[in-house]
Amino acid sequence: MSAADRKPRVFSGIQPTSDSFHLGNYLGALRQWVAMQETTDALYCVVDLHAITVEHEPKVLRERSRVSAAQLLALGLDPERCTLFIQSQVPEHPMLSWILGSETGMGEASRMTQFKDKSAKQERTTVGLFTYPMLMAADILLYQTDQVPVGEDQRQHLELTRDLAIRFNGTYGKTFTVPEPYIVKETATIKDLTDPDKKMSKSSSGPRGCLYLLDEPNAMRKKIKSAVTDSEASVRYDPENKAGVSNLLTIYSSLTGDSIEKLESAYAGKGYGDFKGDLADVVADTLGPIATATREILDDRAELDRILTMGAEKARAMAAPTLNKTYKKVGFYPPVTR
């Protein structure tokens, strides 16, 4: 197959820092991951190395990594059509990260806004959090990635990745593919159900404000029905003056494919009770099967671990040639493999 005929290679990862992904993760990224495996050579990674830049409990992290992978399979990722693996099972990631860290200036690393934001929220800031962008660059460059799906919060990190690839290639000769951002169809930002001025987040949302994919259906319905609205009782999209209702309309539209205008028309003259009740059913009917499938996958831990080991072996087969080439370029002895 010629280079022109092959599918573009795409890499993306998600941290296992919660017991469940939430609706914002699903609509903002994970649903697109499933679609991308049809048109790209896609690698998807549970990035547990990144997860230890904050305090963690080892047993909890290991279990969350497994549950994260099970959710991705339940959502529709197919190990025959993509490469799914746990980051820590592929040692080439930290090995390349060290080299890239040695190519990164203190000034450009210090300018990473995510480090500033996260370190401001933590009592203890680690060197790992500071060097997080270099590990992310290694994640991407190891696989000669063509495109990276990236949101605004990671755009600066992708720019650093591109800069490091260009710099290394200029110093040592062509080694890395310089990745481009993968532009997915615009997705709406899902807000906290109890505070629609904030983005839905596992870290900043309270238990009632975040819809988790592994919530029981009745818990999902309860969260939707108790979501913040306003006293006006008209279902219309107005983010500035009706943030809560607008957020619920966004969720409804994103899950059903109906336009917000169609939904506004359908609920004209109806109260919030009818609107929330119908949306609660839509949410439970859409997300409930994901939770059920996840639990079924987790019931056979041996098979799940087999799939993840197979994914890690496949990823290592792709990563090893890049690492070997990089080692040779910088003057290292080649890594010894069994």
For the whole model, what pTM was predicted?
Answer: 0.92
Q: What is the pLDDT of residue 108?
A: 86
**Structure token pair of residue 296:** 């079924």
Beta carbons within 8 Å of 10's beta carbon, 6+ residues apart: 36, 40, 41, 42, 43, 145, 146, 147, 148, 149, 182
Q: What is the pLDDT of residues 108-117, one digit of tens each?
A: 888 877 766 6
Amino acid at 164: L
Active site residues per annotation: 118, 199, 202
Q: What is the pLDDT of residue 1?
A: 46
Strand order in the sheet with 180-182: 82-86, 41-46, 9-14, 147-149, 180-182
The three state secondary structure string of the chain is CCCCCCCCEEEEEECCCCCCCEHHHHHHHHHHHHHHHHHCEEEEEECHHHHCCCCCCHHHHHHHHHHHHHHHHHHCCCCCCEEEEEHHHCCHHHHHHHHHHCCCCHHHHHCCHHHHHHHHHCCCCCHHHHCHHHHHHHHHHCCCCCEEECCHHHHHHHHHHHHHHHHHHHHHCCCCCCCEEECCCCCCCCECCCCCCCECCCCCCCCCCCCECCCCHHHHHHHHHCCCCCCCCCCCCECCCEHHHHHHHHHHHHHHCCCHHHHHHHCCCCCHHHHHHHHHHHHHHHHHHHHHHHHHHHCCHHHHHHHHHHHHHHHHHHHHHHHHHHHHHHCCCCCCCC
Q: What is the pLDDT of residues 261-309, one digit of tens each?
A: 999 999 998 989 999 999 999 999 999 999 999 999 999 999 999 999 9
Which residue from 209, 321, 228 is spatially nearest to 276, judged by alpha carbons?
Answer: 228
Q: What is the pLDDT of residue 314?
A: 98
Q: What is the pLDDT of residue 301?
A: 96
Q: What is the pLDDT of residue 127?
A: 83
Q: How far apart are CA 177 and CA 44, in angstroms?
A: 18
Q: Which residues of the chain have pLDDT under 70?
A: 1-5, 115-123, 152-153, 185-186, 204-205, 338
Q: How far apart are CA 260 and CA 249, in angstroms?
A: 6
Q: What is the pLDDT of residue 123?
A: 65
